[in-house]
Structure 1
Amino acid sequence: MKETEKLNITKSRELYEEALNFVPGGVLGARKPGDFIAGEYPIFLEKGQGCRLTDVDGNEFIDFLCGYGPIILGYREKEVDEAVYKQIKDKGFCFTLTQKFQNELAKKLTKIIPCSEMSIFLKTGSDATTASIRIARAHTNKLKVMRCGYHGWHDWCIEMKGGIPSKFYEDVFEFQYNNLAQLEELMATHGENTAAIIMTPFGHPNHQKMQTPAPGFLEGVRKIADKYGAVLIYDEIRTCFRLTMGGAQELYGVTPDLTVLGKAMGNGYPISVVTGKKNIMMAAESKLFISSTFFPNSEAFVAALKTIEILERDNVLEDIWKKGKGFMKNIQALIDKHDVGAELTGVAPMFYITFKKDETGAYKGKRKDFYTQMIRKGFFFTPFHHAYICYRHTQRDLDLTLNAMDESLTFIKDKY
């Protein structure tokens, strides 16, 4: 099988070299070249439309990263953007006091999210997860936290500890998804002083296969939280408004005390939420302080309200599940056909192709080659993060992707 020609990313490289003089590392976080495949992926993007991206060199891609999750409808979604434009043009969006959209969105969430009775609105997922921990600690007057999953970049939860005193995270303990015994052991030691158990109810650990909850796992965590009087928090930044409107808690039927929302709710506009039971949320009234100049900005509220309207009106998630199920079935057929150690995990709206680890380390080469061929062919995935399907992916887009996967897996089979 012939290797696909490498992309021209000259302008991306030039911008990156320039950025190194002004921004530490050129670009930050999970957008660094090393978080993709250095030398193969664009570093700077120019525009997006629907499910397609164009980089600064003019290369076009069918995108499956969706901005790392916020794009549930599509890029430059006309109805959403026009609602925001109208708000900005006619009334403005940044004021000293709050606008009515806060109330409208909070009421809407009580109808959609099983645990929602009261809400606090913020900007980022890290804002919201950190606020949820502060609320739980203030409500329980306890200190310790059990965590499962990625919850952002703040001091208490980030894996890279540079610049963070150990006392800021010494009371936070990690347990693995679907490992109820591990949580039980931790709680047997720390349970009486545990304020919160925060977890992703659907397993999407960094750089690893995705997991659905084992029978009894979520129910078991709920019972442990109740036994010790800990606040159960679901981090549904990625899953709510994508797995179902009400998130994994609706899909799996286990309700937490608090939920953290973000990403797909605003179709790319910056908004996040802590929502949950009134008796716990009320700790934020007088026991703690949460505030930002930009938290009440109304453009993101307007975007969220319009996005939710479209999701409900057009049965968007039903469409995504239907397309995604067929897509995943066909991907699995290709994996079975080529037998090169590829693995498919996840569910229809969010999935991940990994490669089985082996003693020789060949899986790393296969992974690099597969995703290199895909980006060269014009399909935007990453080796180190799961993929998403958005509303604007058409069946033709998915069929083109399957054809590219077939060719890429053939290349790997021939090479290895």
Structure 2
Amino acid sequence: MEAKKLHLENSLNELEKGKSLIPGGVLGIRRPYNFVEGEFPVYFDHGKGGRVTDIDGNEYIDYLCAYGPMILGNREKEVDDAVIDQIQNKGFCFSLTQKYQNMLAEKMNELIPCAEMSLFVCTGSDATSTAIRLARSYTKRTKVMRCGYHGWHDWCVEVKGGVPEKLYEDVFEFRYNNLESLENLLKEHGNDTAAVIITPLGHPLAAPITEPKEGFLEGVKELCKQYGVVLIFDEIRTGFRASIGGAQKLYKVTPDLAVFGKAMANGYPIGAVTGKAEIMKEGESNVFISSTFFPNSLSYVAALKTIEILERDKVLDKIWEKGEEFNNKIDALLKKYPVGARISGIAPMMFITFDKNEDGSYKKKRNDFYTQLIRRGVFLQPYHHGYICHRHTQEDLDYTVKSIEEALQYLTEKY
């Protein structure tokens, strides 16, 4: 049965107002064309735990989790209380750094296999760009081989408007799980390659999530060693989610450097670069890394409290347990209703995609499927994978499975 269309008048009116004030009304990946236009809300009002409510009063079970930061849930009291205490009793923005930076770096050393030294920034793009600058300084080389999404800065942004070609002409892409594509690039450019940066779990835009084939990450590491290249794992999404030590711990392959962000502070803005001390020390004097806001302590305090909760409550073990059961149920439904959809990923990160076909009908099926879910109060995105957070309840997950079955039944009847 087709679900009733949502009332979204306030969202749509606010968007029209926003277009006169902000380019596009909202920026980048949050624009309506990245969802199903006219069916998804554009503005949220509030959230609690694993649920969010839009400005029209519609409530959703939120599996996008702010594109990944919400590992615990919205308005997590212990984390917010720690931040509020810092604001009220210590302050957080000073001319000099507070000790929480050292405390977080010590925690990184304890948990992350590659960590010997760390530095902290505000965003994932800050972190990936810092890691590239460190690697170029350390190797005295220029070229970079990349695989995955690494942010919006000039060297890696995928939309090239406003970016001169000379700013990315030394950056080359290779294919995930295709060691030969990297090997060929290094044969040609290896002597001038500073870094290989890769997402250890493949999560390309609008395509299924892919785990590494046996020997792939090991092969990437060996090629980097062979050519004297710095290996960087982009763990912005997998860090503090795939495992407490990131995908490098899950897959037992240790890079030279790694970058983290998103889940490590449960929504507070932070990015981190960590790795071998001899490379990180390029940041002492050879590489300039500075910002008014990098030393602000609120995100450090939030990260320390978030990590404390992750460890104390064995949060990731619980997410894996919930996620595996959830994904298996969805997989069974997709086999029961063969509409051309499939689920991919790992327990904490899943994605329901539709296989492409020649007539392009998969696009209509995809839009109809995600339309039926959002109308039922399930917030998943057609072009980006979803997440399980700690505060998603069994009731949430069961309702979502039921809603997915109803959406698949609708597609079966329609197509």
Residue equivalent to 2:110: 111
The aligned residue for residue 216 of structure 2 is 217
Show CA shifts across 1:214-258 (max 9, x none).
Answer: 011000000000001000000000001001000110000110000
Q: Which amino acid aligns with 2:244?
A: M
Letter in 1 for 2:284: E
Is 1:315 the counterpart of 2:314? The answer is yes
Does residue 400 (structure 1) correspond to residue 404 (structure 2)? The answer is: no
Counterpart in 2 of 1:198? 197
- Can you list the C-alpha shifts for 1:110-149, whole angstroms capped at 9, x where unaligned? 0100000000100000000000000000000000000000
Q: 1:344: which partner in 2?
A: 343
1:275 to partner: Cα distance: 0.3
d(CA) in 2 for partners of 1:166, 1:109: 36
Separation in 2, partners of 1:187, 1:320: 38
Aligned partners of 2:216, 2:94: CA distance in 1, in Å?
A: 45
For the residues of structure 2 that align with 1:394 and 1:24, how far apart are their CA atoms? 37
Matches within 5 A, 1:14-93: 14-93=13-92
Look up the match of 2:284. Answer: 285
The residue aligned with 1:411 is 410
CA distance in 2: counterparts of 1:236 and 1:220, whole angstroms: 18
Alignment of 1:155-194 (within 5 A): 155-194=154-193
Structure 1, gaps ≥5 residues long = none
What SS class does the counterpart of residue 282 from structure 1 fall into? Answer: helix
Partner residue in 1 for 2:147:
148
- In 2, distance between residues paired with 1:260 and 1:279? 16
Q: Distance in 2 between matches of 1:91 and 1:255?
A: 37
Once residues 365 and 43 of structure 1 are traced to their aligned partners in structure 2, the CA distance between those partners, rounded to angstroms, is 21
Q: CA deviation at 1:102?
A: 0.4
Letter paired with 1:306: K
- Alignment size in residue pairs: 415
What's the CA shift for 1:286? 1.1
Report the equivalent of 2:120. 121
Give, as a single letter, the amino acid of the residue that structure 2 aligns with 1:104. Answer: M
- Equivalent in the alignment of 2:301: 302
Q: Secondary structure at the match of 2:113?
A: coil
Q: Name the SS of the counterpart of 1:126 in structure 2.
A: helix
Match of 2:273 in 1: 274
CA–CA separation in structure 2 for the residues paired with 1:197 and 1:409 = 41
Q: Deviations over 1:283-314 (max 9, x none)?
A: 11111101000000001000000000000000
How far residue 59 of structure 1 moved from its aligned partner, in angstroms, is 0.2
Q: Secondary structure at the match of 2:259?
A: strand
Matched residue, 1:384:
383
Structure 2 match to 1:100: 99
Q: In the TM superposition, what are the counterparts of 1:121-140 in structure 2 within 5 Å?
A: 121-140=120-139
Q: Any idea what SS the aligned residue of 2:369 has?
A: helix
State the AA in 2 paired with 1:120. Answer: L
Cα distance in 1 between the residues matched to 2:34 and 2:324: 28
CA distance in 2, matches of 1:341, 1:23: 38
Question: Counterparts of 1:18 and 1:97 in 2: how far apart (Å)?
Answer: 41
SS at match of 1:195: strand
Q: Which runs of 4+ in 1 moved over 3 A?
A: none
Report the Cα distance in structure 1 between the residues aligned to 2:207 and 2:152, rounded to whole angstroms.
19
Q: Is residue 2:2 matched to residue 1:3?
A: yes
Question: What is the DSSP-based 3-state SS (H/G/I as helix, E as strand, rest coil) of the residue aligned with 1:307?
Answer: helix
Q: Letter of the 1:90 partner, please give it.
A: N
Query: C-alpha offsets along residues 25-52 of structure 1, whole Å, 9 cap, x if unaligned?
Result: 1000100000111100110100000000
CA distance in 2, matches of 1:279, 1:230: 14
Separation (CA, whole Å) in 2 of partners of 1:65 and 1:162: 27
AA matched with 1:328: N
Q: CA deviation at 1:360?
A: 1.2
Task: Work out the CA distance in 1 between the residues paired with 2:86 and 2:111.
Answer: 24
Which amino acid counterpart does residue 118 of structure 1 have in structure 2? M
Counterpart residue type for residue 137 of structure 1: R
Q: For 2:152, what is the secondary structure of its paired residue?
A: coil
Give 1:238-277 correspondences, 5 Å limit: 238-277=237-276
Matched position secondary structure for 1:352: strand
Which SS does the other structure have where 2:25 is aligned? coil
The one-letter amino acid paired with 1:281 is: M
Provide the secondary structure at the position in 1 that maps to 2:74. coil
Distance in 2 between residues matched to 1:17 and 1:340, nearest whole Å: 36
Distance in 1, matches of 2:206 and 2:173, equals 17
SS in 2 for 1:47: strand
Code of the aligned partner of 1:49? K
Give the Cα separation in 2 of the matches to 1:226 and 1:9.
54
Consecutive unaligned residues of structure 2, counting only runs of 5 or more, are none
1:153-186 Cα distance to aligned partner (Å, 9 max, x none): 0000011000000000000000111010000000
What one-letter code is carried by the residue in structure 1 that aligns with 2:278? N
Counterpart CA distance in 1 for 2:240 and 2:120 is: 16
C-alpha distance after superposition, 1:179-220 (max 9, x if no partner): 100000000000010000000000001111110000110000
